[in-house]
Structures are given as C-alpha cells and as structure tokens.
C-alpha cells in the first residue's frame, strides 16, 4: 500500500527519511564488509579466502550503490528546494525507531544472521518465492508505467509525516523501503499536477552532484561512474525525478528490475550469498570476531543501550575516535558540498577531490578494517569496528568565509592524531597494522598540507 504525499513539505520529509535510511543501511553494510577476514593467516583456506573476498566485493558494491541512492535522494531534495540531509541517530536503535519499516539499526559482523537481516531490508514486498532471483524481470518502460500508475493509498494525515521527521515520536507509516520509494514516485506526480511541474522543481539544480560524460565536474571518475557500478543523474523535472527513483528501486529490491538484471539486485545478491554460505561444507567463519555495536561512548540518542559494546582498550579506542573524526569530517564536507551556500565550480571540485576518493577510500575504509583487527576490551575477547558515531545532534557548518580554514583545522588535527597514536609504542614497526597506520599518517599529512596550499601540490590530472 502506498502513502499519499500531497505537498512539497511532505515530499521533503519523506526524502529526508529516505536519505537517513540509505545512510543507515550503507553504514551497516560497510561494517559487515570490513569485518571480513582478509588472509589465510586468519584461519581460512585459500579457497575460503577467495569465497570471502567475493562476498566482500559484493557487499562493498551494494554499499556503494546505497551511497549512490543517497546521492540521488539529495538531488531530488535539491531539485524541489529541500536542504541536504545527513542526519541519523547513532547505532544501535530499536526496531521500532523506523515504525512499520521495521529496520533494525545495528552494527554486526558478517555472518548468516546479519546477511538475513540485510536481505529483509532489501526484500521486495510481498516477498517473492525462492525462484525469484533466477527469473527474468520486466522492461524499464513497464517499471516506469507501474510506478506512475494510479496507486492505492493508505490513509493517514499529513501531520503524521511531519512528526516523522521532527525526531520526537516517530510515526512512520511506510511499510518497506520499496513502499517509501513507490510513495515518493506517486507523490512527485501528484504534487507536480497540483502546483505545476515548474513550480515543484524550483530548486537550484546546479547545486546537484551528478556524473556521466557531460558532468560539469571534469574528467576523471565522475564522467564514468558506471565503472564503479553507479550512475548519478541530475534531477531537473518530473521525468528525471522518476528516473532517479526507478534506478533506486531496481538496484535495490529488484521487484521492478529489468531482464537479466535481477540477479544483480541487492535482494538477490544477499539471497544468493545466503545460499552460498549455507552450502559451504565444512562451514567456516568468514569474519573476524567483531563485537556488536562497538562504540567509544554511549550517546544520548541510542535507544538500545544494552546492545552497545563500549571499547575499553585505550589504544583501540583512540583509533576508533580517529575514525569517527574522519567520518564526521567527511559528512561535514558533504553537507557543505550539497548545501545551498554560494560556491564556485572550482570550490565544488576542490571539495569533491577531498571527499570521494581520499577521505572515503584512503582513511574511512582502512581505519575501519584496522579496527576490526584490534581487541575492543581490556578484559575480554572480541574485536572492535567502526562505530560511525556522530558526536552532535546536528552537523553544523562554519560560516561560509571560514569553511576552508575550518576544514584545515580538521585535517591538521587528523594529521597530528595519526602521527601520535599510542599504538605505535605498543607494537613493532614491522606489524602490519602499524605499517598501514603509518601509510595513512603520511597520506593525511600530505592531504592537510595540500589543502593548506589549495591543492597546489597535487600532480597534474587530465
């Protein structure tokens, strides 16, 4: 059943919820992927290691596509005059946090229970039988027709939607992620008809981030995102808005996936992964002994405090804090990038060049992988992991004139912390974890110095 969205405000609120969910799922998927064993030295045979790597590759692909979905949602928001949204409550949360969506927010290592939970997140509704992932889908035009067909709406008042995003008592009526997006598609059609397409799409579409051969962000990675299994489109009107939603639902649940693509949908990736895990004889544990929800501290917005594992090992906790600072810096930079404050194209590219490859791939991921190798506690077994902790209720940007220098402070602090980790005194330089941290320290120093020099030292790009 579809929830009727009848105003710009309701669309924006629903898109905020969508952004929060995509962000939430992405963190959960990445946590599981980074918990996986990476060498035969961790007790896997060569064949098991190859199988594990294959699962890890798929998990990171799905997580990348969640990032892409979040990017599409942000473009949808921008197109209709909304503001970028990077908020989410800290992990873990009770299942009731997301109402009828039934999404459990927790960080758990890769195992069958975790993958089953992910499969449920991505499941089409009604959930299909076991033959679904080996069947053929339907053509994209039919997908579009289904999304745009008159919907059967579940009645609820507009006030409930507003309450849903004010953070207090959440009354989320959407019954699944699929339901949320189908409702959004119908809502875009409804509101465009009510107030006129041009009036609905009144946002600053040049503030969107999008890829493809005609991307305004230059050559390099953005002009061919498909090499990463992604496509970020610019939303400028009703057609492109529906295109964006079609892309999200066909990559995810797959109930609306084209022929030959169903097996690549998130739902089928997780379904097939579970089957492969079941089929392993002998069964093996592909993940490190990572504890659930390893955090540096308890946060006031956590609704399932008993499920938290506070990291007590000091040297590990220090690295977990460093991870959180890098993650929060990245989110703040994205908030600025997607925000409506005036900025030149050069400034946008400057920020993208710090976020999309350096921060994401050279710091956030390696720090996550290192944390899953380190003991979480002083007095019991279990490894740590990336907690994706947000220290404040709201991410707040500095005044526009201070943005560059404020991020300089972030990079300088990160660089200093990388250089002065306690773990350097506890392990030999030959230790693989230390070597990797030293490599990151060198890279963060370079990034901080080059930010100070306004990217004057980076080598020539195309």
Partner 1 sequence: MRMATDPDPSDEPRGVSGYTFALAGEPDFDNLVHLQPDEEGVCERHFGYGKNDTGPRVGVSVTQAKWFDDEKLVYHQAPEYLGARVSFVKAQLTERNGIVIRNDLFAIDPLRVQVRKKRGALVIDREDFLDQKNPGLPITQATSEMLERRQPQGLTDSSVEVAKATGLPDASNDSCINNRRIRQRNLEELLKHTRNPVERAALETRISQLNILRRWWELSQGGKPIDRRAHQLTLQAYGWAVDINGAVHVNKIGADENVNWPLSFWMGGWDGDALCAYISGYLSIPLASEA
Residues of this chain that bind partner 1 (CB under 8 A): 33, 38-39, 46-47, 49-51, 53-54, 56-57, 60-61, 64, 140, 210-215, 219-221, 224-228, 230-234, 240, 243-244, 247, 250-251, 258, 260-261, 264, 353, 356-358, 360-362, 365-366, 436, 439, 442-443, 445-447, 450, 456-462
* Residue 2: strand pairing partners: 153
CB contact at 8 A, 91 and 20: no
Would you say 11 or 235 has its CB closer to partner 1?
A: 235
> Based on CB atoms, which residue is closest to partner 1, 145 or 298?
145
Residue 151 beta carbon to partner 1: minimum distance, rounded to whole angstroms: 23
Residue 218 Cβ vs partner 1, minimum distance, rounded to whole Å: 8
Q: Is 316 left (phi over 0), alpha (psi -120 to 50) or beta?
A: alpha
Please say which residue, 225 or 332, places its beta carbon nearer to partner 1. Answer: 225
Beta carbon nearer to partner 1, 295 or 421? 421
Shortest distance in whole angstroms from residue 283 CB to partner 1:
17
Preceding amide of 413 cis, omega within 30: no
The C-alpha torsion from 159 through 72 and 135 to 25, rounded to 10°, is: -70
Nearer to partner 1, 164 or 287 (CB): 287
Task: State the nearest-atom distance from the C-beta of 285 to partner 1, in Å.
Answer: 18
Q: If you search the block for the tokens 């350097």, which residue do you land on?
A: 424
Q: Which CB, 175 or 215, lies closer to partner 1?
A: 215
Question: How many helices, marked H, and strands, marked E, lie in the chain?
Answer: 15, 4
- What are the residue ranges of helices labelled H in 252-364? 266-279, 314-338, 345-354
Residues in the chain: 462
CB 50, CB 91: distance < 8 Å: no
Q: How far is the CB of 447 from partner 1 (least distance, A)?
A: 6
Helix, strand, or coil here: 7? coil
> Distance between CA 313 and CA 377 in Å, rounded?
5
Write down the least CB distance from residue 42 to partner 1, Å: 12
Cβ-based nearer residue to partner 1, 65 or 190: 65
CB atoms within 10 A of CB 444: 25
Smallest distance from the beta carbon of 64 to partner 1, in angstroms? 7
């Amino acid at each position: 059943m579809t929830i009727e969205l009848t105003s710009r405000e309701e669309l924006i609120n629903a898109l905020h919820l969508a952004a929060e969910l995509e962000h939430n799922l992405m963190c959960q998927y990445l946590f599981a992927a980074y918990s996986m064993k990476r060498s035969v030295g961790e007790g896997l045979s060569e064949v098991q290691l190859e199988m594990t790597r294959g699962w890890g590759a798929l998990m990171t692909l799905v997580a990348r596509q969640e990032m892409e979905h979040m990017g599409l949602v942000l473009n949808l928001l921008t197109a209709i005059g909304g503001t970028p949204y990077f908020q989410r409550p800290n992990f873990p949360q009770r299942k009731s946090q997301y109402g009828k969506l039934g999404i459990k927010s927790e960080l758990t290592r890769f195992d069958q229970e975790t993958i089953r939970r992910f499969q449920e997140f991505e499941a089409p509704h009604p959930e299909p039988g076991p033959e679904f992932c080996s069947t053929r889908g339907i053509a994209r035009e039919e997908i579009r027709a289904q999304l745009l067909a008159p919907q059967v709406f579940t009645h609820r008042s507009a006030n409930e939607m507003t309450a849903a995003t004010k953070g207090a008592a959440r009354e989320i009526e959407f019954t699944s992620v699929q339901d949320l997006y189908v409702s959004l598609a119908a809502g875009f059609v409804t509101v465009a008809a009510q107030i006129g397409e041009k009036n609905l799409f009144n946002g600053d579409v040049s503030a969107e981030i999008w890829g493809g051969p005609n991307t305004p962000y230059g050559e390099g990675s953005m002009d061919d995102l498909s090499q990463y299994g992604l496509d970020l489109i610019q939303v400028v009107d009703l057609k492109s808005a529906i295109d964006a939603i079609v892309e999200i639902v066909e990559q995810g649940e797959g109930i609306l996936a084209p022929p030959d693509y169903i097996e690549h949908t998130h739902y089928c990736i997780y379904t097939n992964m579970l089957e492969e895990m079941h089929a392993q004889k002998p069964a093996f544990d592909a993940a490190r002994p990572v504890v659930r929800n390893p955090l540096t501290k308890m946060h006031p917005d956590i609704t399932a405090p008993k499920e938290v594992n506070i990291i007590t090992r000091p040297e590990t906790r220090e690295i977990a804090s460093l991870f959180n600072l890098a993650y929060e810096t990245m989110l703040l930079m994205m908030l600025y990038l997607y925000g409506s404050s005036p900025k030149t194209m050069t400034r946008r590219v400057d920020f993208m060049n710090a976020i999309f490859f350096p921060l994401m791939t050279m710091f956030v991921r390696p720090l996550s992988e290192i944390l899953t190798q380190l003991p979480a506690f002083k007095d019991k077994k279990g490894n740590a992991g990336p907690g994706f902790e947000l220290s404040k209720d709201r991410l707040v940007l500095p005044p526009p004139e201070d943005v560059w220098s404020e991020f300089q402070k972030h990079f300088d602090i990160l660089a200093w912390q990388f250089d002065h980790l306690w773990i350097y005194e506890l392990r030999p330089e030959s230790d693989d974890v230390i070597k990797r941290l030293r490599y990151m320290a060198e890279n963060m120093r370079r990034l901080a110095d080059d930010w100070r020099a306004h990217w004057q030292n980076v080598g020539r790009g195309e």
